[in-house]
Amino acid sequence: MDSAHPQGISRREFLIFFYKYRARLLFSFLLPLTLAIGISFIPTPRYQATGVLIVRLGSEYVYQPETGTSQSGGNPSLPFENEQIFKSEVAILGSEDLHRQVVNAIGVDALFPELSHPQGFGLIMAAVHKLIDDELKSLGLAHEVIRTPQEIEQRRLAKAVDMFDKRFGISLERESAVISVSFEHKDPALAVKALDTLLALYYEKRKQIYMEPRAELAENQMEATHSHALAAQHAVEDYKLRHKIYSLDDQRKQLLAERSEAMRQEQSFSSPDVEAKIAEYNRELDQLDIQERGFVSLQKEADIANEAYSIYSHRLDEAKAYEDLQHERIGAVRIIQPPTASPEPKRLQSLIIFAGIFLSLVFALLVAAVTEFSRWGFLAPEQIERGLGLPVLAVFPFSRRV
């Protein structure tokens, strides 16, 4: 019974099916393939510029305490792990702000002229988009948006940055601490220029991130202490002028000598004038003691202010020396291979055609499946035996009468 009613689908049935519907299946295969071949000629070939960087553990990753030197025991430390260092460098290279600076430096029209003057497929898409917008506006489903020139320029810049991001690539090899950067453009010279500009701005951005602006803070502190020292010194000078102080020791000696002379005169002969003069000398000496205490207090404040100014002046010199050292040593990332463009453009034609072949096969199989499940009747005797459970005794060939 099993041999009389085979359960599997034979090769003959496949051949009969594909022969009967050969035109439909061939059309379903060639249509997507033809579209793919046509689309493969639309993309412009692009040259890929590539540069290679290496990340070393430089001084910018080392934390140097602001207080304390090698003599006083300040110990530098490395607060970052290698993985964090690599990720931070990749994040800087891939930052949108850096890419915007590159686009601004080169120019939107120079880097992506198709944004202002679309051509080819871009021109077709722009026309279709405008046609759809006009139709929606005529139906009242969309409203015309009026934008200022600044808003239009910002939108162009945003689109240019988005296109730059899509054509820019970063590859990190953690084992060797190597970072590869690439950029694709139809002009090889412009692709190299874009990467050169990006790396130059990248180094400047690294300096802004990793450099510690100690000199500016130290200079502000020094200026503040200098102003305080000048104010304290002016207060001392103003106090001396206001109280007519030129030399406290000499003034005291002179008053003591004059009082001693008056006291000797009083011993020789008693006189109200002499007693009044001695009392006046005593008052002047008391007043001089009070003035001396005020003068000493102001002078002490002036000395403290001058000492603070001297300390912060020394710190400013140290901070400037530290920043100069940072400028010289902030090179943890070095260029192994300068940006160079590939001699041959990167073409997408073969990739699009291969994808078209795959989609054509899928579409043809889908059409075959739909045809098989939607047709009526039998194509081969084996199908009658499986469907009706009856053996086929004879087969008559189909003949078309004219």
Domain boundaries, the chain: 11-38+350-388, 46-211, 217-317
Q: For residue 255, what are the contacts with CB-CB under 8 A and spacing of at least 6?
A: 281, 284, 285, 288
Q: How far, in Å, CA of 78 to CA of 61, rounded?
A: 6
Question: 332: how many CB neighbours lie within 10 A of its CB?
Answer: 19
Write the CA distances from 12 to 8, 18, 26, 373, integer angstroms.
11, 10, 19, 18
Share of the chain above pLDDT 70, in %: 70
Q: How far, in Å, CA of 182 to CA of 172, rounded?
A: 12
Residue 160 · residue 109 · CB < 8 Å: no
Q: For residue 350, what are the contacts with CB-CB under 8 A and spacing of at least 6?
A: 40
Cα-based torsion angle of the residue sequence 301, 306, 312, 317 in order, rounded to the nearest 10 degrees: 180
User: Is 0.85 surpassed by the pTM of this model?
Assistant: no
Residue 190 · residue 113 · CB < 8 Å: no
Element (H, E) at 334: strand 333-341
**What does the pLDDT read at residue 128?**
63
pLDDT, tens digit, 9 for 90 and up, residues 167-222: 999 998 877 789 999 999 988 999 999 999 999 999 888 877 776 666 677 778 88
Residue 302 in this model has a pLDDT that exceeds 90: no
Element (H, E) at 124: helix 121-138
Q: Give the pLDDT band (50/70/90) at residue 248.
A: confident
pLDDT, tens digit, 9 for 90 and up, residues 13-50: 777 777 777 888 888 888 888 888 877 666 667 889 99
Q: Give the pLDDT band (50/70/90) at residue 148.
A: confident
Q: Which DSSP string do the residues of 170-191 spell out, in sequence order?
A: EEEETTTTEEEEEEEESSHHHH
Q: How far, in Å, CA of 93 to CA of 201, rounded?
A: 10
Q: Which DSSP string do the residues of 55-70 spell out, in sequence order?
A: E---GGGSB--SS--T
Between helix 349-374 and helix 11-20 the angle, nearest 10°, is 100
Q: Which residues pair with 181 in a beta bridge?
A: 51, 170
Q: How far, in Å, CA of 223 to CA of 305, rounded?
A: 12
Determine the average pLDDT of the residues in 126-151. Answer: 66
For residue 162, which phi and psi values (nearest 5 degrees)?
-65, -40
**What does the pLDDT read at residue 25?**
84
